[in-house]
Structures are given as structure tokens and as C-alpha cells.
Amino acid sequence: MSRIGQKPVPIESGAKVSVTDRVVDVEGPKGKLSYEHRPEVTVSIDNDTNEVVITRAGNDRSSREFHGLTRALIANMVVGVTKGYEKKLEIVGVGYIAAIQGDVLQLRVGYANELHQTIPKTLNVTCPDQTHIVVQGCDKQQVGQFAAEVRSLRKPEPYKGKGIRYAGEQVKIKPGKSATK
């Protein structure tokens, strides 16, 4: 039985939630998001308690799975349009830098050529200094996806730790070949 799906989603102040057919629209100060849920679940708004209630039709496995998933996605949408999501990246390495030119993130991370990553229109990407990147937006999935794509351009290597990593990420450093002697 889905315990997450049974919990109603509180609508925070500043957020407007509307349900038409199977499409849930959430609008707030940070942006607008939309989600079309599966037919196994139904979404309704309880105006008395100002909450979104998700119920499922059956008790089969897929209905239980989509019950919890739908609730979690709608909760993430409400948080995204009110508070927003943020991922911070650090660049570690001598001469490794990042800069933003228009809607392109430029990275010099030890390759012969400069790497370019196009920034989606719905995200706000900034570089407070040359070794930090901040990705902000209202869609949790899109923020995490863009941060993961930037990190994958030069993952932290295990011997010196050089590369792009999430802020606070611990990179396990391996001993080199001289450690075996």
C-alpha cells in the first residue's frame, strides 16, 4: 500500500493549482509547470484544507506505484514554483574555468578545445566566480539533468580529483603507483 500517495500535498501560499481532465497545472512566482498524470490515479483539489488529494482506482501493483509517483511529482512542482531548486557545481583543477556567454556555458577543463553547453531557456545558470556554477529553476528534473550533463563533461578523476563535481561531493582519491613500493 502506498503510504506516500495517501499523504495530501499542501498548497503553499503563492501557488495556484488547477486540474483539468488529467492535466495538473501549478503556477507560482518562480514559474509555471504542467503534468499529465496516469489514468490509474485521480487528482482533486480540496478547497477546505487547501490541499491536493491523490487517489487510486485499484489496488494492483501499477496503481500503487503511480499513486506515490504522482503525489511526489505534484509535491515537487508546488515546491519548485514557490521556492525553486538549485544545484551548485565546483570546478577543481589548475587552469580549469567556466564562463557564460549569452545562452552558452563555456568550460575550459583540460581539453584541447573549449567545451560549450547550451543553457535551456527555463533555467537560470550563473557563474559567481570562474570555478563555481549555480543552476537554478522551478523544474527539479530539469535542474538535476542539466547539472548532471555539465558534470559528465569532465567527471572528477580518482588520482588528483580534478574535474567538475557537485558542491560538497567527496571524491575518493586513489593512491598512485608509487604507493605500492
pLDDT at 117: 94
> 164 with 91: CB under 8 angstroms?
yes
User: So what's the pLDDT on residue 181?
Assistant: 65
Can you tell me the distance from the alpha carbon of 67 to that of 50, in angstroms, rounded to the nearest whole number? 20
Tell me: the pLDDT tens digits for 76-96?
Answer: 999 999 999 999 999 999 999
d(CA 150, CA 161): 16
Say how many residues make up the chain.
181
Residue 177's pLDDT is 84
Taken in order 30, 36, 37, 43, the sign of the CA dihedral is positive
Which three cell numbers mark 12?
Answer: 503553499
The pTM of the full predicted model, rounded to 2 decimals, is 0.89
Beta bridge partners of 103: none
Residue-level pLDDT at 77: 94
CA distance 133 to 106: 11
Residue located via cell numbers 531557456: 121
Q: Which residues of the chain have pLDDT under 50?
A: none
What domains lie within the chain, and their CATH numbers?
3-82 (3.90.930.12), 85-166 (3.90.930.12)
Q: What pLDDT, on the 0 to 100 scale, is given for residue 179?
A: 73
Give me the pLDDT at residue 178, please. 82
